Amino acid sequence: MLVQSPSRIFKSDLSVWKRERSCFTNTINTDDHSALKNVSEIVLEGNGDYDFYYQKNSSILVVVLYGETLISGFTEPFIAGQIFTRLANESGILNFKNNLRNEKTDILILELKNSSSENSFSVEDLNFHERNALLQISEHLGYPNFTGIYDGRKEQEYVLQKKEGSIFGMVINGAFEFQNRLMETRDAILLNGIETLEFEALSENALLIFLEI
C-alpha cells in the first residue's frame, strides 16, 4: 500500500501569469530548505525577449518546450527538445530572445542550488527514442533528472537514490496519477520523505519531468 507522503501541489489553474515586456512569466517558488530554488515558465511573443537573473552557486536547467530561442552568448537558436545546462558560482543573467517573428516560444527554467565551485555550461539533445520509460534529461545538472512520454494506463516506479528524499515533478502534457495525486497539464508537485515514486499515465502521450532533489 502506498503511504501518503508530505507534499505541496502547485495547480496550474491557480497560477498567476505576469506580463513582462514582450513575454508572460509564471514562477513557482519553493521553500528555503529545498535544493530547488524556483521554476519559471516563460512564453515569449514573436521577437520577444526576457532576462533571467540567477543567483550565485546555482545549477540551471533550461528546456525548450516549443519554438526557438536565442540564449545570450550563442549565435544558433535552441529549438524544442534541446537542453541547456548552466553551472554558475557567481550570480548573472541569461537573456532569452524568441527567434521566431510570428510565433511564440515556450521555455521552462529550473534553478537549483549548486554546492560545487564549477562554472560551466552544456548543450544536449533530448531524444524520446523509447516510450513508457524514464529518460535522463541532462547528464550535467548534478541532480537525478528524468522525463518520459507514456501511453494511457502505463505505470512506472522509481527508487530514489537518497533514502527519505524529495521529488519535484511537473506534468508537461496530459494527466497522471502521481504518488496517488491527480495531476494534469502544467500541474507541479513537491514530495518529501519518500523512498519510491510511483505514477500512472491517465491519458495518451502524457509527458512529465521530475527531479530528485
Distances (CA, A) of 141 to 13, 112, 121, 124: 29, 9, 10, 11
Quote the pTM value. Answer: 0.94
Q: How confident is the model over 26-53, as a mean pLDDT?
A: 93
Question: What share of the chain in percent tops pLDDT 90?
Answer: 90
Cell triple for residue 129?
Answer: 527514442
CA 158/CA 149 separation, integer angstroms? 15
Domain borders along the chain are 7-12+129-212, 16-124
Among 20, 57, 58, 22, smallest CA distance to 39 is for 58
Least confidently predicted of 77-81, 115-119, 121-125? 115-119
pLDDT band for position 4 (50/70/90)? low
Which amino acid is present at 152?
G
On the question of pLDDT at 1 being above 50, the answer is no
Tell which wins on pLDDT, 93 or 116.
Answer: 93
Neighbours of 42 (CB within 10 A): 24
Task: Tell me the chain's radius of gyration from C-alpha atoms.
Answer: 17
Other C-beta atoms closer than 10 Å to the C-beta of 170 total 24
pLDDT tens digits along 145-196: 999 999 999 999 999 999 889 999 999 999 999 999 999 999 999 999 999 9
| Residue range 72-104, pLDDT digits in tens | 999 999 999 999 999 999 999 999 999 999 999
Q: State yes or no: pLDDT of 109 exceeds 90.
A: yes
Q: Are the CB atoms for 109 and 42 separated by under 8 Å? A: yes
* 132-144 mean pLDDT: 97
Percent pLDDT > 70 in the chain is 98
Neighbours of 100 (CB within 10 A): 17
Q: Determine the topology of domain 7-12+129-212 in CATH.
A: Jelly Rolls (2.60.120)
Q: Which fold has domain 16-124?
A: Jelly Rolls (2.60.120)
> What does pLDDT average to over the chain?
95
Q: Is 33 exposed, middle or buried (0-12, 13-18, 19+ CB in 10 A)?
A: exposed
The confidence score (pLDDT) of residue 3 equals 54
User: By three-state DSSP, how is residue 13 classified?
Assistant: helix
